[in-house]
Amino acid sequence: MPLTLNNLYEDFRDPETIKAYASLIAEEAARLDEQLSIMEICGGHTHTIMKYGLKQLLPSNIDFIHGPGCPVCIMPKERIDHAIALAQMEGAILLTLGDMIRVPGSKSSLANERAKGYDIRPLYTPMDALRIAEENPDKKVIFFAIGFETTTPMTAVLVEQAIKRGIKNLYFHINHVLVPPAVDAIMSDGTAKINAFIGPSHVSVITGAKIYEYLPTRYDTPVVVSGFEPVDVMESILMLVRQKVEGWCAMEIEYKRSVTMEGNTKAQELIAKYLEPREHFRWRGIGDIPHSALKLRDEYAALDAEKLFADILPTEPIDDHKLCICGTILRGLAKPNDCKVFGKACTPTSPLGSCMVSSEGACNAYYRYMEV
């Protein structure tokens, strides 16, 4: 009987299972006629690879390239400055998810501004935004929404519930971004040497794996949508190696226990009801990528913090710290330990860039799980 997750293993962190996959990968990889450079798009996979030492179990002709799939990491400084400007308004409460609090903007961070006395609150669940707005009817409550397709449905639910409940003081600053345009931008550039992808599973639960079908046909690059457990990742690597060895190229789903081709169509419909693609959005380190992010539809302008408070929001793009190579890492052109300030001037407690802040950031993963 073949070694598969479905008929043999329930523990997706079992060391013997991981070693068994490593042996199979080594056997198959010996037949590769080129280096296999796999971009794991999502930072969650980066952390799994580093935490469980998966790279050390693989043959030398398999390497990982870290991708732009960390929503905190790709947020440019000017968007952080938006959040700070909104938080500094009289009578404002700024809400966002935890990692955003410490990401540096051009001159400060939300954490520093909170220490000065501004009402800035990290949310454990976005639904708390409704309660906070209802409990503070005299305040302007602004939800600084971030995330890829995974967290976008929750923002759409918040918008819908705010309308249904008649909450007039809850506003939305939308920073939801999309995976395919970013990957397309990296591949179109042609600088990063990528010949295989591990696709993010949480995104795919919402969108369906269909969003990656263009990669094998357009770039002759196989994709396997993987779960985040170490056994998931190892099986996905084996699937990619076998495609390369056997001379075919396709999009496959490893994470079949949660991911389908079509995804969550109800969530997709809810997103489309309240949100639509932006014409442009600037990604940290990558630059302006057309139609790569979402915004509130015009009919919900009364809830749109970007439109309502546009006069106080900065508009000039702001580059990263000169010593920070976060943007180069996000484009798949460098690794965290290539950075001169990694683990020295830049640490999780005093980050120069966003890749060190986020729990999904590549620099954070390297700092946590390898010797510095």
Tokens standing for 198?
């591990």
Tokens standing for 322?
């000169």
| Nearest-5° Cα angle at 222, 13 to 256 | 45
Measured in residues, the chain has a length of: 372
pLDDT of 84-128, one tens digit each?
Answer: 999 999 999 999 987 899 899 999 999 999 999 999 999 988 999
CA distances from 112 to 54, 91, 118 (A): 37, 18, 9
Q: Is the pLDDT of residue 9 over 60?
A: no
Amino acid at 369: Y
Alpha-carbon gap, residue 183 to 5, rounded angstroms: 28
Neighbours of 31 (CB within 10 A): 11
Q: Which CATH architecture has domain 77-177+293-312?
A: 3-Layer(aba) Sandwich (3.40)
Domains of the chain, by residue range, sit at 77-177+293-312, 326-369
pLDDT of 49-90, one tens digit each?
Answer: 999 999 999 999 999 999 998 999 999 999 999 999 999 999
Residues contacting residue 311 through CB under 8 Å, at least 6 positions apart: none
pLDDT of 188-225, one tens digit each?
Answer: 998 999 999 999 999 999 999 999 999 999 999 999 99
Average pLDDT estimate for 28-40: 97
Q: Would you state the pLDDT for residue 370?
A: 83
